[in-house]
Structure 1
Amino acid sequence: MFEIKEDFYWNGKSIKIISGSIHYFRVVPEYWEDRLQKLKAMGCNTVETYVPWNFHEPKEGTFHFEGQHDIKRFIEIANALDLFVIVRPSPYICAEWEFGGLPSWLLKDRNMKLRTAYPPFMEKVKNYFERLFKELVPLQFTQGGPIIMMQVENEYGSYGADKEYMNQVMDLMLENGVDVPLVTSDGSWSDMLVNGTVVDRALPTVNFGSKPKEHFDILKNFVDRPIPLMVMEYWIGWFSAWGNDEYKQTDSASQAEDLRDILTMGHVNFYMFHGGTHFGFNNGSNYYDAFSPDITSYDYDAPLSEWGDVTEKYRVFRDVISDFVEGPLPELPEPVKKANYGTVTVKNRTSLFDNLTQLARPVTTPYPLTMEDLDQDTGYILYQHDLGGKRDVTLQLINGNDRTKGYINREPVFTQYDKEVGSPIETQLKEESNELMLLVENMGRINYGPRIPDQRKGIENLHVNSGFRSEWTHYPLPLDNIEQVDFSREFRENEPSFSQFELNVDEANDTFIDMSGWGKGAVFINGFNLGRYWEVGPQYKLYIPAPLLKEGINDIVIFETEGKVKEEITFTDEPPYVR
């Protein structure tokens, strides 16, 4: 029996919650148990996870709870290891995840008011919760499971102050069978606690990365009754973005001192204990001074590395935690084996433009459509348009999100990204007929801040000389059907292309693919979208978990948008950076 009074109690005895974040959706299922064992071996008694709505309902009314989506199995493994579980189940999670976990199909409603009591939004939440909580409710401690708390929304105080919305979300949770204690989590700065909490219905917790006494004092003064003091997100690392000079790393020695203070005063959830990987196109983005999409790695400088290795930070934290738990800590599980598979040579190569009809069903309309209009979530979209005959032209993109590469008669003309979008492009049309192709990449919808509602991807329109253009053909390219690429078709230099390699392995082990020398794109392993690479760094190697490989021949496909291809790729046992 779990209770919240002035402290946390289990079966009438006060307990110290020492929790760590592991996101099942960023770890291949075959490694869930390994990561959870390592969490327990650091001294944690609880695991916390978000639940991204868009991961489980990528198309409205189509739900996925199998394979990597099987949150029930993840929680059952935690239960078998005698771990408590804290679940943070949407509608919004932030988490540096695509659109903060919100499904992009919400944006088909041009009047949509996200994260508010706007009835059409709440209707979608209701439909999702009715399905989601069928997975979670039987796993609550009230029914013999390990879930002891569930969070309402996420850091809502940094976004809005709609108390009716927060109350409606809680009502929906209760209506769908949630009967464990509810919590909120917010920063303690400015109006965040005032905006984000509903103190008579949910326990308020705080998020911070340093100065625990200061933040806990703010929380104590905010609530007019004794409560357990908990940091729901103790930021012991940070995320890295494309274009950063280096991976973000933090000082574990000072964090260990703060951790001791936190555990002396209250309770902790490490964000993150193990970050994992932004597989596919699931990374989010931020926008402060400029658009800033996150890299494929979500290592987060966490105690357990992206590839599952124990780090010095892990050892330092384990030493502190050992002073707050009874008895010896579990032995560390064996490290996951890594392999250096060496270099392989390209087998086939073909142009994207010669494979459009293989990969997409064209849609023609008088005006450009966005990804959301076309029921597309992530990936790329190619716009095709006839610019007419010979003449000088000035092209101007209108609201191109996020990165557009323009080609005329298959020759590259321009690339525009972020603040460059909308700058006039002056060029000369040299042929009697001139075909324009615009390849637009969704680089990750923004996951935090005031720009969240404005995340439609694609172009709004194109202005040419004196007016907007009509008659557009669209090719949606989520690249979820990479097996349809026809490598017998032509390859042309300087065009977006697919390169095929074969990796023959006797034994499947973890490895890293080195993308140094390539431009920008994505890597597919046996049809699985491993994630993005980009020459701007700081990430040049992508992590390949062993379960994605098979004994024998493995099919490797690289989609490259910048025309920078190599004849060889290397698989190494050396991680992207030293942990």
Structure 2
Amino acid sequence: MPPRHRLPTSRSTRPGRGAAAAALLMALGLAAQWLPQPARAAEAPSAATASTATARFAIQGGRFLLDGRPFVIRSGEMHYPRIPRAAWRERLRMARAMGLNTVTTYAFWSQHEPEPGQWDFSGNRDLRAFIRTAQEEGLQVILRPGPYVCAEVDFGGFPAWLLRTPGLRVRSLDPRFMAASARFLQRLGDEIGDLQSSRGGPILMLQVENEYGSFGQDRDYMQAMLAQMRGAGFDAPLFTSDGGSESLFEGGTLPGVAAVVNFGGGLADAQASLRALRAWRPEGPAMVGEYWAGWFDHWGERHHRSDAQANADTVDWLLREGVSFNLYMFHGGTSFGWLAGANYSASEPYQPDTTSYDYDAALDEAGRPSPKFHALRAVIARHLSPGERLPALPPAPVVRALPAFALQPVGTLVAVLDRLAKPQASRRVRPMEAFGQNHGYILYRKQLDAPARGKLVLSELRDHAVVMADGRVIGTLDRRLGQNALALDLPAGTRLDLLVEAMGRIGFGSRLVDEHKGITRSVRLNDQELLDWQVYTLPMTGLERLGPTDAAARAAPQGPGFWRGTLQLAQPADSFLDTRGWGKGQVWVNGQHLGRFWNIGPQQSLYLPASWLRAGANEVLVFSTQPPTGAAPTLQGLAEPLYETPDRP
């Protein structure tokens, strides 16, 4: 969704030349490396066969047709990895009850191929099951397979392992990237290709790339993406999606492919954006691919709210004009685990996104209807087709406060380090991707063989560092604030530890092409590079290896460390864990990674789904880079999310 970020656009290093991408790559002898082979006939009928036999959806002139009748798409965006699988159906049922007839989702490459050639379409990543559930609840589906998605997720949805190839450039005709993206699209086509409208399924249409006009102007690249999608068996109608200006349409649209427009704000923005779309593509359908009826949060900023009545008035106008739309978001959900990404602006070098993706959406993070939901439902009810009726409103999920429970120290990170990782010798510091790591923390350790007095500089720190001397915290550095230097005065023999947290890769704009994590260049003292490190990769998997610890290790950590507690429940219930007083870190409940917390706000609680809990004892594990406040650290559950941003000093 780049136009919303108000960031400068960048141009591809390979401007469009009007030639077909396939012909260009064939001439270079590279096409066979990345152009996917057509799907096998037994698994995916050809476009011609499918369209004549079972096609349900079509774009005809300026209209959408479903089963031969004019169809106005009333869609809302929901992302399956951001919703506990057990709640998919109730969230989709709420979408139908608000009056939506379609649900839109991205397909997240990073979630489905976490390592090269290792595919995961299980559990919360079961895209096929999500689409089938939507169909069972009376909803059509729009799929946006990327492979770039933005969506405020880490690296814009690209898998982090792409960064292990030196010099690889995403969103370009780099043959190494093209080969990887073709493999993903082919595997995705094998997974859900038969659910397309061209074969009688609920997937009405699919998006090519994602708002490419806000990134570059390489026409050959866009043609290559189109070729990859068709080669992967995506034979339903396709579309492109861009912000409402001629320059964005110029870079992001394709001849012969429907174009839709994205915007935020109120009615004036809607009218201006639709005029721009009409001027660019007068013969195409009128559709808003993303109406930003809310906004996302960055750490350290205020929680965003939008005017529910202004959102409803805009949707009312769109429906009066017969314009199809997709609410971004209808239900935002939660960027569980390491899913959250980051942005940047002209004034701030780095803006990490919060774990919550509530988005001030019609359906809140726990799946409850908000005032915006009811305002939109009332508007949609006035524009139903003859004979159409809104379903009854389902019961809202019950979110409960949970009693406070104590947590005991497991041990400092330094004390348990060897249980979590084995050191790797490295002459120079290197980013975590160089060690095969995608997410989490990385610790660089060096025994000082001489006194260290002066200025320590962590060059290209990504993203937050805790600096320790013999296990004692002596400072922190924050990429958000442009910090990368610290004054040192340490004797010879001191053990210097640099614990670096990856807080989400930038997922928008030109900077997403180089988002390695850790310390990505060098560590220098008084401009002299420090060499010979022991490196510990800490993706925070295998935490069961922490086990019980002895009394000395259980002493309350004065720096980064682990805490463990037991939440006793008679019956599971949704809740929000109150993380105030816990500083900065991560929470796991029964092994499920809820995500990141940080006391700078605005998010001061973490959504805890009932489906991840059980009656009886529930294990809660906290990793915090600073000790919690209070003599007896506790956590409790809240019935409402908590958003507070302390005033900056």
- TM-score scaled by structure 1? 0.97
Judged with a 3 Å threshold, the aligned counterparts in structure 2 of structure 1 residues 338 and 426 are, in CA distance, closer, same or farther, namely: closer
Name which of 230, 235, 256 aligns with 1:179: 235
Tell me, yes or no, if the aligned pair for 1:117 and 1:162 is still in contact at 8 Å. Answer: no
Tell me, yes or no, if the aligned pair for 1:494 and 1:564 is still in contact at 8 Å. Answer: no
Q: Is 1:517 aligned to 2:581, yes or no?
A: yes
Q: Secondary structure at the match of 2:636?
A: strand
What is the rounded CA distance, in whole Å, between the counterparts of 2:452 and 2:156 in structure 1? 45
What is the rounded CA distance, in whole Å, between the counterparts of 2:117 and 2:487 in structure 1? 45
Shift of 1:347: 3.5
The one-letter amino acid of 1:59's match is E
The one-letter amino acid of 1:300's match is Y
Q: Is 1:280 aligned to 2:341, yes or no?
A: no
Q: Is 1:149 aligned to 2:205, yes or no?
A: yes
Match of 1:77?
Answer: 133
What is the rounded CA distance, in whole Å, between the counterparts of 2:557 and 2:87 in structure 1? 40
Tell me, yes or no, if the aligned pair for 2:597 and 2:603 is still in contact at 8 Å. Answer: yes
Match of 1:342?
Answer: 403
What is the rounded CA distance, in whole Å, between the counterparts of 1:252 and 1:443 in structure 2? 31
What is the rounded CA distance, in whole Å, between the counterparts of 1:359 and 1:324 in structure 2? 58
Name which of 348, 361, 366 aligns with 2:422: 361
Shift of 1:565: 4.8
Shift of 1:105: 1.1
Match of 2:29?
Answer: none
Tell me, yes or no, if the aligned pair for 2:566 and 2:618 is still in contact at 8 Å. Answer: yes
Shift of 1:82: 2.0
What is the rounded CA distance, in whole Å, between the counterparts of 1:40 and 1:572 in structure 2? 28
Tell me, yes or no, if the aligned pair for 2:105 and 2:143 is still in contact at 8 Å. Answer: yes
The one-letter amino acid of 2:399's match is K
Deviations 1:358-410, CA, capped at 9 Å, x for gaps = 11132112111211111111111111112223352431111111111111111
Tell me, yes or no, if the aligned pair for 1:397 and 1:421 is still in contact at 8 Å. Answer: no
Match of 2:274?
Answer: 216
Judged with a 3 Å threshold, the aligned counterparts in structure 2 of structure 1 residues 385 and 88 are, in CA distance, closer, same or farther, namely: same
Tell me, yes or no, if the aligned pair for 1:398 and 1:422 is still in contact at 8 Å. Answer: no
Tell me, yes or no, if the aligned pair for 2:366 and 2:399 is still in contact at 8 Å. Answer: no
What is the rounded CA distance, in whole Å, between the counterparts of 1:254 and 1:466 in structure 2? 55
The one-letter amino acid of 1:509's match is A
Shift of 1:176: 1.5
Tell me, yes or no, if the aligned pair for 2:78 and 2:103 is still in contact at 8 Å. Answer: yes
Q: Which residues of 2 match residues 468-487 of structure 1 at below 5 A?
A: 468-487=529-548
Shift of 1:420: 5.4
Judged with a 3 Å threshold, the aligned counterparts in structure 2 of structure 1 residues 328 and 572 are, in CA distance, closer, same or farther, namely: same
Judged with a 3 Å threshold, the aligned counterparts in structure 2 of structure 1 residues 193 and 285 are, in CA distance, closer, same or farther, namely: same
What is the rounded CA distance, in whole Å, between the counterparts of 2:485 and 2:229 in structure 1? 50
What is the rounded CA distance, in whole Å, between the counterparts of 2:636 and 2:619 in structure 1? 14
Name which of 327, 346, 353 aligns with 1:294: 353
Match of 2:284?
Answer: 227
Deviations 1:243-263, CA, capped at 9 Å, x for gaps = 113x10000111211111112
Give 5+ residue unaligned stretches, structure 1.
none
Match of 1:264?
Answer: 320
Shift of 1:419: 6.0
What is the rounded CA distance, in whole Å, between the counterparts of 1:318 and 1:574 in structure 2? 23
Shift of 1:440: 0.4
Tell me, yes or no, if the aligned pair for 1:41 and 1:331 is still in contact at 8 Å. Answer: yes
Deviations 1:261-307, CA, capped at 9 Å, x for gaps = 11222111000000000101211111102111111110000000000
Match of 2:104?
Answer: 48
Match of 1:375?
Answer: 436
Name which of 213, 229, 237 aligns with 2:294: 237
Match of 1:304?
Answer: 363
Q: Secondary structure at the match of 2:379?
A: helix
Shift of 1:563: 2.4
The one-letter amino acid of 1:574's match is E
Shift of 1:340: 2.2
What is the rounded CA distance, in whole Å, between the counterparts of 1:438 and 1:423 in structure 2? 12
Q: Which residues of 2 match residues 98-497 of structure 1 at below 5 A?
A: 98-189=154-245, 191-200=247-256, 202-209=257-264, 210=266, 211-223=269-281, 225-245=282-302, 247-265=303-321, 266-288=323-345, 289-290=347-348, 291-326=350-385, 327-418=388-479, 423-430=484-491, 432-459=492-519, 460-489=521-550, 490=553, 491=555, 493-497=557-561
The one-letter amino acid of 1:403's match is H
Match of 2:622?
Answer: 558
What is the rounded CA distance, in whole Å, between the counterparts of 1:31 and 1:329 in structure 2? 21
| RMSD over aligned Cα atoms | 1.5
What is the rounded CA distance, in whole Å, between the counterparts of 1:419 and 1:239 in structure 2? 17
What is the rounded CA distance, in whole Å, between the counterparts of 1:492 and 1:368 in structure 2? 30
Aligned residues: 574
Judged with a 3 Å threshold, the aligned counterparts in structure 2 of structure 1 residues 435 and 139 are, in CA distance, closer, same or farther, namely: same
Tell me, yes or no, if the aligned pair for 1:393 and 1:429 is still in contact at 8 Å. Answer: no
Shift of 1:148: 0.7
What is the rounded CA distance, in whole Å, between the counterparts of 1:59 and 1:556 in structure 2? 28
Shift of 1:423: 4.7
Match of 2:38?
Answer: none
Q: Secondary structure at the match of 2:637?
A: strand
Tell me, yes or no, if the aligned pair for 2:559 and 2:625 is still in contact at 8 Å. Answer: yes
Name which of 561, 571, 574 aligns with 2:637: 571
Give 5+ residue unaligned stretches, structure 2.
1-55, 645-649
What is the rounded CA distance, in whole Å, between the counterparts of 1:331 and 1:226 in structure 2? 38
Tell me, yes or no, if the aligned pair for 2:459 and 2:484 is still in contact at 8 Å. Answer: no
Match of 1:93?
Answer: 149
Tell me, yes or no, if the aligned pair for 1:22 and 1:275 is still in contact at 8 Å. Answer: yes
Tell me, yes or no, if the aligned pair for 1:347 and 1:502 is still in contact at 8 Å. Answer: no
